[in-house]
Amino acid sequence: MQGGPAFFSGAVKQLLAALFVSALTATAVVRPAAAFENAPDLYMVAGRDWRVVLPVSVLAAAGEKSAPVLLPELGKGRWFDHFISRYEPTRPALIVPTDGDGKPTAYLPWEEGPTFPEPEGGPIKLVDLSARVSELPLLLAEEIVPLSSVDPGPPVWIVSDADYHTGLLAAVAAGAERGILVPVAADREDITRALSFARARRAPVRLALSHSEESSPASSALKAAVLEAALVGDVPVEVVKGVDALTGRAAAGFAGLRSAELRGHVVFTNPADVEGRFSPPHLSLLAPLFAISRQASLVLTDGDPEKTERKLEAFEEEHGSVSHVTLIGDYLTLRMREMLDPDDVHEGVDEPRRFKVPSLAGVIDLQPAEYATGRLAAEDVHDLSLQIGRIMAPRRALGSKKRPALMLANADEIFVIAELVSMATVKEMRNTGWDVTAYYGDEIDRDLIFDEMPGKQVIIWTGHPRDLTVDYDIGVVDQMLDSSLVFLQGCYTLDRNDPYVLVQQGAGGIIGTYMAVYSASGSAFAKTVLDAMLYYGADQGEAMVHARNYQLAYVEMKRQRGHRDWRKTWRAALSFDLWGDPTLRSVQPRREPEKPPVRLKREGEVLRFLVPAERYSGLAAGRYTLESVAGGQLGAIYTRSDDWGDERRSQPFYFGWVDLPEHDEPPELESKVPDDEWVTVWAPKRQRLYILVHNRAERAVGREGLVFRLKGAASEEP
C-alpha cells in the first residue's frame, strides 16, 4: 500500500461486513435506497468481464453527472492512487469479489485496498462481484433508482450475455435513454428477475438482439425465453433487432441534447480487440462509457479504414451530418491509411518511406479537413480507464484550472525557426492570461524536465524526437502528471513510447506525429492549434481541423509563390493526430486578450480582416526575428536584405474562416489584394471558407484594408 491511511478503518470494516451478511446471495442492496443524485461518483471494477463493465458503464455515464469507471490492474496501484487523490470521490463504489463473511477478497492492484479520502456520502459501497452477472446491474440500480423515486422507471435493456457485439450497441442505446443494461442467459431465473424489476417500477423493457437470429442461436433462444416469461408476467417487451436499429435508437436519444457546434459525434471501435492470445488491449470495452458521456453514437467496425469511412458516410445519410469522430482502439485494431512520403516520391527515391495517416482527417489528396477527429489509445484498458476518467471529470481529476503551462523548445539547439515560433506561441498564451514557464535550447536538461513537468496543465515539447518518458539522457520515467494536453512536436512522436507512458502517468490528451516533420511547419501547426482554442474557443478536434486547413492554405501559398519545398508543409498537415477527446476544450482563455487578435469578419457580402495595430516585438532566435500581431500565423517563409546584415525576418500571415451556409459551391471572391498574396480553402461539408493572406499585402491595399467580396450565384435554400 503506497502512502496514506489504511483503506478501511476497523469500524468501517465491521459496518461493511454487517451489510454483507445477506449480500452473498446478491438478494439485497448494500445500503438503504438513496435518491438518484446520491449515485456513486466513482466506480472501481475488478477484472474486465464485459457483462459487468458495460452495465456499470451505463449507470455511471447516464446520470446527471457522469462518473468515471476505473478498471485497476495488478502492478498499477500507484497510478490509480494518483487519480483518486486528485479526484477525491465522495461516494465511491467498489465492485469486487467477497468471501463468505462479506469481506473483499481482491483489491487489485492493492493488498489492502485503494486509499480513498474520507467519503462524505457515507460508507463506501461494496458490491459482490461473485453474484450472478444478471443480478449486478439490478443491485446497483436498486441503490440508484429506488422503487418509489421514478414512475415510470428507467428502461430495462436485456441482452444476451454471450453477445459482446450487441452488448456494446445496447449499452449506448440504454445510456441514451438513461436506462439499465442487464446481460442474461436464456435462463428463466435471470429473465424473471429483470422483468420483475421492470414491472415493480412500471419501466419499459427492451430486448436487444443481433441482426440475424438464424446465425445466432443464443439470440434466438433468448428471444423465445424472454417473450415467454413476459407473457406469464404480463410485462410488455419491445424487441430492438439489428445493428441499424440499435444505432438509430442511440442517435435519436442523443440528437436533442447536443450543442449547436457539435452537429453530431460518432465513436468507432473494433470489438475484436478483446480476442487474441497476447494481452489484447480490450479498449472497446470502454467505448460505451465514453460514447454515453459524450452523447455520441457508437458504430462497430472491423478496423479497415476504407470500410470505416463508408460506415461514416452511411451513418450521415441516415442520421444527419457529423462534426466529430472518436476512434477507440490502437492502430492495430483500428487501422490507419498509409501513403508514400511525398518528398521521396517527388525526388524519385527507389523505395519511398511509407507513412501512417490519421483516419478521417482529410488532407491526403490536398483536400480540406472536415471532421474533428481524435483517437483514444492506451497500452491496455486499465490505462484507458484512467484517461477517460480525466476526460469525463477534468476539473476534479486534473486539479485546478489555474495551473500553468510549460514550453520546452529546441533542446538540441538546431531548430531555430521552431524556437522563434514557440516564443510567439508563449506570447499568445500569456496574452490570454496563461502563466507559462518557458525554456529554450541549452536551458533544457533532464533535471529541469523532472522538476517542471508535474503540475503543468499544458506541456509543449518542440524539437528533435526524444522520449520524455524513457530516454536515458532526458527521460522522466515515473512522473505523476496532471496535464490536460501534452503537445509533442517532433518526428514520429506517436510511434514512440511517450504517448502510452504519458497516458498512464496522467495526460488527458496528446497531440503528436506519425511521420518525419520539419520543425518550422510542425511548430507552426502547434501554434495554430493553440490559437484556435485561445481566440476562437475551439475544442481540441476543431482546433486540429483549423490547423490542418491552415497548412493546406499555406501549401497553396507556397506553390503559388514557386516554393519547391511545399511538400514538407503538406507532410506536417498529414502527420499530426490527437490522442484524446476531440470535443474537449482543454485549453481556454483565462481572460480577454490584452492585445486583440487578427480576425476575419463577415459584413453581408464583405469579408474583412480586422488587423490590430499593436504588435508583438522583440522576438528573436539566432539570426531570425519576428514582429507579428496576436493571432498571426507563421511558417518558414522569411525575408532578408543587405541592409539587415545576417538578420532573417520571419513573415507572419493572417488566417481566418467564415461559415457560408447559403453556398453549396465554393464561393467566388473579388479583392484588390494582389492575387499572389492570398489563397482560399473551401470545406464543402461544413460550408466553411478559409482565407490566408500574406501580411505584406497590407502595403498594397492601403486604407481599404484586406477586404474580399462574395460574388456569384448562391443556392436558394440555406
Residue 330 lies in a domain: no
Residue 205 lies in a domain: no
Phi, psi angles (nearest 5°) of residue 677: -110, 5
Which residue reads 492570461 in cell numbers? 433
CB atoms within 10 A of CB 18: 10
Which is nearest to 366 in space by CA: 685, 681, 688?
A: 681
The CATH number assigned to the domain holding 559 equals 3.40.50.1460
State the DSSP string of 586-610: -S--SS--SSPPPEEEEETTEEEEE
Q: Which of 156, 100, 101, 98 is nearest to 127 (CA)?
A: 98
- Looking at the structure of the chain, the number of domains it has is 3
Among 36, 28, 22, 9, residue whose Cα is nearest residue 123: 9
Are residues 538 and 420 part of one domain?
yes
Same domain, 638 and 540: no
Residue 38 pLDDT: 66
Evaluate whether residue 157 is within a structural domain: no
> Is residue 572 domain-shared with residue 604, that is, in the same domain?
no
Q: Are strands 616-621 and 125-128 parallel, antiparallel or unpaired?
A: unpaired
Q: Which of 579, 612, 641 is the last residue of a domain?
A: 579
Radius of gyration of the chain (CA): 27
Buried b (16+ CB within 10 A) or exposed e, 495-510: bbebbbbbbbbbbbbb
Task: Report yes or no: 107 and 73 within 8 Å, Cβ to Cβ.
Answer: no
- Cα dihedral 152, 153, 155, 161 sign: negative
What local confidence, expressed as pLDDT, does residue 21 receive?
29
Return the SS3 of 313: helix
DSSP assignments along 611-636, one per residue: --S--EEEEEETTEEEEE-TT-B--S
Q: Does 214 map to a domain?
A: no
Asked whether 397 and 68 are in contact (CB, 8 A), the reply is yes
- Shared domain for 6 and 114, answered yes or no, is yes
* 604 lies in the same domain as 518: no
Euclidean distance between CA atoms 566 and 689, whole angstroms: 21
552 and 701 part of one domain: no
For residue 576, give Cα distances in angstroms to 362, 374, 544, 559, 677. 12, 11, 8, 21, 27
- Domain membership flag for residue 445: yes
Asked whether residue 28 falls in the same domain as residue 134, the answer is: yes
Rama region for 638: left / alpha / beta (φ>0; ψ in -120 to 50; rest) = beta
Residue range of the domain that includes 501: 336-351+380-579
638 Cβ contact list (under 8 Å, min separation 6): 417, 624, 648, 649, 650, 651
Count CA within 13 A, CB hemisphere, residue 566: 15
User: What DSSP state is assigned to residue 445?
Assistant: -
Same domain? For 399 and 528 the reply is: yes
Can you tell me the distance from the alpha carbon of 674 to that of 92, in angstroms, rounded to the nearest whole number? 64
Residue 574 lies in a domain: yes
3-state percent breakdown (helix, strand, coil) of the chain, nearest 5: 35, 20, 45
Secondary structure of 105-138 as H, E, C letters = CCECCECCCCCCCCCCCCCCEEEECCCCCCCHHH
Residues in the chain, total: 718
SS3 letters for 146-213?
Answer: CCCCCCCCCCEEEEECCCHHHHHHHHHHHHHCCCEEEEECCCHHHHHHHHHHHHHCCCCEEEEECCCC
* pLDDT by 10-residue block (mean), the chain, 718 residues: 33 32 26 50 90 93 84 87 89 80 72 69 62 78 65 87 93 92 88 90 90 65 87 88 90 70 85 79 95 94 93 93 94 90 87 89 90 95 95 85 89 88 95 95 86 91 71 60 92 86 91 89 94 96 96 91 85 92 94 95 93 88 87 82 74 92 91 91 94 86 84 49
Of 129, 149, 169, the one marking the end of a domain is 149
Same domain, 617 and 561: no
Residue 109 lies in a domain: yes
Q: Are residues 396 and 498 in the same domain?
A: yes
Can you give the pLDDT at residue 457? 94
Whether 523 maps to a domain, the answer reads: yes
For residues 12 and 80, state if they share a domain: yes
Cell 516554393 found at: 563
Q: What is the pLDDT of residue 18?
A: 30
Exposure string for 573-607, b = 16+ CB within 10 A, e = fewer: bbbbbbbbbbbbebbebeeebebbbbebeeeeeeb
Question: Which residue, of 94, 114, 149, is where some domain finishes?
Answer: 149
Do 542 and 608 belong together in one domain? Answer: no
Distance between CA atoms of residues 593 and 7, nearest Å: 47
